[in-house]
Amino acid sequence: MVCHGQVKLLDFDHSCTLTAANEAGERYGTEGFIAPEQRNGGYLDIRTDIYQIGALLAYLAAGGTQKGGLSASVPGRLGAVIRRCLRREAGQRYGSALELEEALAGLCFNTECPRQLRSPSLTIALVGARRGAGVTHIAIGLAAWLNRNGRPALYVERNRSGDVTAMGERLGVTADSYGILNVLGLPMKPRYGGAVRLDECDYPVVLQDCGTDAAAAAEIRPSAILAVCGGKWWDEPCLSELLERLGAAEREFPAGQEAAEPAILINHMVPGALRRPREWRGSRSLQVPEFPDPFHPDERASSFYESVMSGYLREEERKRRWRIFGRGSAPRGSRGSSA
């Protein structure tokens, strides 16, 4: 199964409770994976499962079961972990799944892979010039487009609309342990109260739907800000006010922290209705096409999102390569380049 961008292997065949496993008159298992106590009628507990996990790791690492002594051919610290799992005496194995997990996690930190997985997410804040500007519609569409194009993205509701909760209730969807709902295949996190504490789940891209709250958009210090406004002649003052509020919120932060330059997304555009005021003359602006279903962006919407994200995704790739190749320094030939 794929869970939050990670592949997880599940096998519930012949599973049962600890009491039932020890009271059963017959025992079942796969040759090459069952623990000695499972075979000879001994007492079964969590260490029996630890043995089977070790047998699976040996199979993945060496291409066969431990029956032929293949676990001995697995080198290094991984081999040592596997061999401890496969000890004949249960008392010599890891005492819990958590203890085994910690041993395996300790191996991962010696590779470059976890550094890449744990790299900071590309965080994008979307904020509207006024209510009804279409922030949620655009944010959901962007999240759907990113996920469809191999960029796992999490939609986070930072406004007070309660839309994500309403979607979950309408579809009968419940949140997972991270507080995330799967809505039509899209991971969405509703707004929770301040007393709720949930584990963070890593996503390469996080989209923060801030509604009209410019202070919230600036507070999260995003990689990018997308300012959404209407395209009618009466929307121009609202956009200028939003950009001023964003600037005021950013000025509250310590000196030396560069603010993200907002890109302006103009929704429901009437050609020629908006001038380019002095306040946003240097900002990038794009016209949002009309598309009815944000969960399934059409061809025009996909082209629009590709234009919106092209620079941000190139910058994220560049930073990721810096972390992998140079431990914080740029790869050869890329120093000083910009998106």
Which backbone phi and psi does 296 adopt, to 5 degrees? -135, 75
Q: Give the whole-angstrom CA distance, residue 284 versus residue 87.
A: 63
Nearest to 277 by CA among 285, 269, 287: 285
Give yes or no: residues 104 and 196 share one domain.
Answer: no
108 — pLDDT class (breaks 50, 70, 90): low
Alpha carbon of residue 322 to chain centroid: 21
321 within a domain of the structure (yes/no): yes
Please check whether residues 70 and 218 belong to one and the same domain. no
Structural domain includes residue 335:
no
- Joined together, the tokens standing for residue 172 give 């009968």
Cα–Cα distance, 218 to 20 (Å, whole number): 56
According to DSSP, the β-strands at 186-189 and 181-183 are: antiparallel
Numbers of helices and strands, H then E, in the chain: 11, 10
Decide if 339 is inside a domain: no
Q: Give how far Cα 230 sits from Cα of 57, 64, 107, 190, 241, Å.
A: 56, 62, 52, 25, 13
Question: What is the pLDDT averaged over residues 288-314?
Answer: 90
CB atoms within 10 A of CB 5: 16
- The total number of structural domains in the chain stands at 2
- Alpha-carbon gap, residue 263 to 5, rounded angstroms: 28
Q: How far is CA 328 from CA 160, 188, 321, in A?
A: 38, 31, 9
Q: Based on the domain organization, do 300 and 170 belong to the same domain?
A: yes
Question: Who wins on pLDDT, 275 or 101?
Answer: 101
Q: Residue 323: its pLDDT value, please?
A: 40
Q: Which of 110, 139, 169 is the last residue of a domain?
A: 110
Q: How does pLDDT run across 4-62, given as a tens digit for each residue?
A: 667 777 776 777 888 888 888 888 888 888 899 988 889 999 999 999 999 988 888 88
Tell me, yes or no, whether 333 lies in a domain.
Answer: no
135-148 and 299-326 helices, crossing angle to 10°? 60
> 84 pLDDT exceeds 80?
yes
Does 135 map to a domain?
A: yes
Tokens of 332: 């050869």
| pTM metric for this prediction | 0.60
pLDDT confidence of residue 283? 67
pLDDT, one tens digit per residue, over 143-197 is: 999 999 888 899 999 999 999 999 999 999 999 889 999 999 999 999 998 788 8
Helix (H) or strand (E) holding 207: strand 205-209
Residues 146, 58, single domain; the answer is no
Q: Kindly report the CA angle at 309 between 306 and 311, in degrees rounded to 5?
A: 115
Which domain CATH number covers 159?
3.40.50.300
Among the three residues 75, 110, 145, which one is the final residue of a domain in this structure? 110
Asked whether residue 208 falls in the same domain as residue 69, the answer is no
What DSSP string runs through 20-49?
HHHH-SS----TTTS-HHHHHT----HHHH
What domain range includes position 62? 2-110
- pLDDT > 90? residue 67: no
Q: For position 70, which CATH number holds?
A: 1.10.510.10
Give CA separation, 323 vs 122, 151, 218, 315, 317, in Å: 14, 19, 26, 13, 10
Q: Mean pLDDT for the chain?
A: 80
Q: What average pLDDT score do residues 68-81 get?
A: 75
Q: Choose one of 110, 135, 167: the last residue of a domain.
A: 110
pLDDT at 322: 38
pLDDT score, position 76: 85
Which whole number is the average pLDDT over 315-319?
54
Q: Is the pLDDT of residue 332 over 60?
A: no
Q: Determine contact, residues 104/76, Cβ cutoff 8 Å.
A: no
Helix (H) or strand (E) holding 139: helix 135-148
